[in-house]
């Protein structure tokens, strides 16, 4: 085989592999397949050496309805205009990062339930410039060989619960002691396998480094007040 046909075959194989992984990620995010099956099929896709072998990875999955767009194409921020992110609160939406990154920041419309899936990729979900409605907003995170950061303002009530296997998550619980149905509450649950997710608190427009400096200043000021009061 000459150089050009060989190069074309490799490109076709790489593109088909990405299509298969995107399909598996979409089905996983839609609860069509479970975590163990998703991991097994992704591994098969990476080891497949031909387009025929890649086709066998997804041949037994249910055909997708023509009206259901791929999640990766629907939600990737570099391909989707900002106006397309607006959605009804009653609907569910996904943020999917496969060997890449996804962001939600600025004045984006937050759904009632947001699913964040990171597979060898990363996600940054920023709530500092959005106005959450009363009640609970849920963020469900799954990270496999990837990570997610959720950025919240200091005045937002947060509940967090997660499980990490060979990974980790930084838990932040800042929910009021008395439930107020008129107050917004962000509830984050997650699962991390050889990955992790974290919730960080920052002021609007504040970088991670600036937030660390501010927190150090606040801790020193608190210590000085305690020493001055004799506590």
pTM, two decimals, is 0.56
The most confident of the ranges 10-14, 66-70, 147-151, 176-180 is 147-151
When pLDDT is averaged across residues 127-148 and rounded to a whole number, the result is 87
Q: In this predicted model, which residue has the larger pLDDT, 221 or 159?
A: 159
For 60-115, the pLDDT digits (tens) are 887 765 444 444 444 344 433 333 333 445 444 778 888 888 888 888 888 888 88
Report yes or no: 43 and 145 within 8 Å, Cβ to Cβ. Answer: no
pLDDT score, position 126? 92
pLDDT at 19 over 70: yes
HSE-CB at 97 with a 13 A cutoff on CA atoms is 24
**Domain boundaries along the sequence of the chain:** 1-67, 69-231
Note the pLDDT tens digit of each residue in 40-61. 888 888 888 899 999 999 888 8
């Amino acid at each position: 085989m000459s150089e050009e046909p060989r190069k074309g075959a490799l490109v076709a194989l790489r593109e088909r592999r990405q299509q298969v992984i995107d399909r598996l990620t979409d089905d996983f995010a839609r609860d069509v397949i479970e975590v163990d099956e998703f991991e097994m099929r992704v591994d098969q896709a990476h080891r497949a050496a031909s387009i025929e072998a890649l086709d066998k990875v997804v041949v037994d999955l249910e055909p997708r309805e023509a009206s259901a767009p791929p999640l990766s194409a629907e939600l990737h921020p570099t391909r989707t205009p900002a106006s397309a992110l607006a959605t009804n609160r009653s609907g569910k939406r996904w943020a999917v990062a496969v060997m890449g990154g996804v962001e939600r920041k600025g004045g984006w419309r937050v759904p009632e339930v947001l699913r964040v899936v990171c597979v060898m990729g990363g996600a940054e979900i920023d709530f500092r410039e959005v106005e959450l409605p009363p009640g609970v907003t849920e963020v469900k995170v799954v990270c496999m060989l990837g990570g997610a950061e959720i950025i919240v303002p200091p005045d937002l009530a947060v509940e967090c619960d997660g499980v990490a296997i060979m990974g980790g998550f930084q838990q932040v619980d800042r929910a009021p002691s008395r439930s107020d149905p008129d107050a917004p509450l962000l509830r984050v649950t997650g699962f991390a396998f050889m990955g992790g997710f974290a919730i960080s608190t920052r002021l609007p427009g504040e970088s991670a480094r600036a937030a660390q400096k501010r927190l150090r200043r606040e801790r020193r000021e608190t210590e000085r007040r305690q020493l001055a009061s004799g506590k």
